[in-house]
Amino acid sequence: MFKFIHSSDLHLGKPFGRFPEDVRVRLRQARAETLPRLASLAREHGAGHILLAGDTFDQTTPAPAVIRQALNRMREAEDVTWVVMPGNHDHANATELWRQVARDAPPNVVLLLQPEPFALNAETTLLPAPPTERHPGRDLTEWFDSAETADRLRIGLAHGSVTEFDNSEDGGSSVIAPDRARRAGLAYLGLGDWHGQLQIGPETWYSGAPEADGFKHSETPAALLVELPGKTAPARVTSLPTGVISWRRVMLELSDDPADRNDCTAAHEALLPSLPERASTLFDLVVSGRAKPLDRVALENAIAGAAPDFLWHRADLSALGLVHDTTDLDAIDRQGALRAAAEALAREAEDESLPPETRETAQAALSHLFSLALEA
């Protein structure tokens, strides 16, 4: 039995530039801490190797401290052998990056910078396909088919998009045949590039990133424990959760139909994660449909009340239309200039002959008027 952990796309040093500095610090820290978490999983499950299928670093020129700190964490897990292969973000022709890694790497770190067989142990050979540029545009695993490995167990490691899925995160580092494992007689083919965990075939898997870096993938970030009983027995693959930061994009659609009308605040509350989870959650709320102005104001207040609980919070109400009647406008004023202004805004908000941005501005102004009226 040969056991190992398969992971990829750690993207250490990713800047996360669109977030505030305190959030960026938490996100970068969480990514750095994936290394000791992977080592703990390897120990827990009796796996002696961790195979990283590319994009360990987010770029070809990470800060020297990012490289050194990653290697120090690997050094601390001295009972585990780390097998590191370049991806498309940290491709093999990033000479200075890999020169520094090779110079500072501890004995338990193996770099696979060339497409040549590497013996993991006396019975098992690893076939790597390291990208040499950002977008090679060809199948770098073709050489697996004819690689000489005697009678050993064969494992492949590659980074890129599978041709029939076209599932690259950013254009892909290479194009990989989905049946490569069968063609090359591999017991297992470990892939990187797609940040969500994905099975391509019985013995071909994307591990996914151990920490999410966006709202694209809904599944929990995880690594794979791979157990190979032998050349003729199928691989046993187990998903092991690794993520500590949650990225959640939530859709809230509201209706003004009396038969299907939402309680806006209750609908919002039902979508929120538990209070302890919020401090480690990036929450992106997208609201659509239609609501009465007073309901919208109540929803805005509920959103504002919950937002500070989260690591990061954004609410987009631009697709939420307003529906109102005289009773709603009475909450602002029954007559006079303020009432006249409210009626004018209400007409603009519903006038489909006006540009969308004009209607949105009118909706926002009317909503603000309702907020002021409720505060008075």
Q: Give the SS3 label for residue 312.
A: strand
Contact 311, 282 (CB under 8 A): yes
Which regions of the chain does DSSP assign to beta strands (E)?
Answer: 2-7, 49-53, 81-85, 109-111, 118-119, 124-129, 153-159, 161-162, 175-176, 188-192, 198-201, 204-206, 222-228, 236-241, 246-254, 281-291, 312-322
Residues 6 or more apart whose CB falls under 8 angstroms from that of 352 comprise: 359
Round the CA-based radius of gyration of the chain to a whole number and report it.
27
Query: Rounded distance, CA 90 to CA 192, Å?
Result: 12
pTM: predicted TM-score of the whole model, two decimal places:
0.85
CA distances from residue 137 to 8, 54, 176, 352 in whole angstroms, order as listed: 20, 16, 10, 47
pLDDT, one tens digit for every residue, the chain (376 residues): 899 999 999 999 999 999 999 999 999 999 999 999 999 999 999 999 999 999 999 999 999 999 999 999 999 999 999 999 999 999 999 999 999 999 999 999 999 999 999 999 999 999 999 999 988 888 999 999 999 999 999 999 999 999 765 555 655 556 899 999 999 999 999 999 999 999 999 999 999 999 999 998 888 999 999 999 987 789 999 999 999 999 999 999 998 665 555 688 999 999 999 999 999 999 999 999 988 877 888 899 999 999 999 999 999 998 887 776 555 655 555 566 666 777 777 778 778 888 888 887 887 777 777 666 655 5
Q: Provide the pLDDT for residue 375.
A: 58
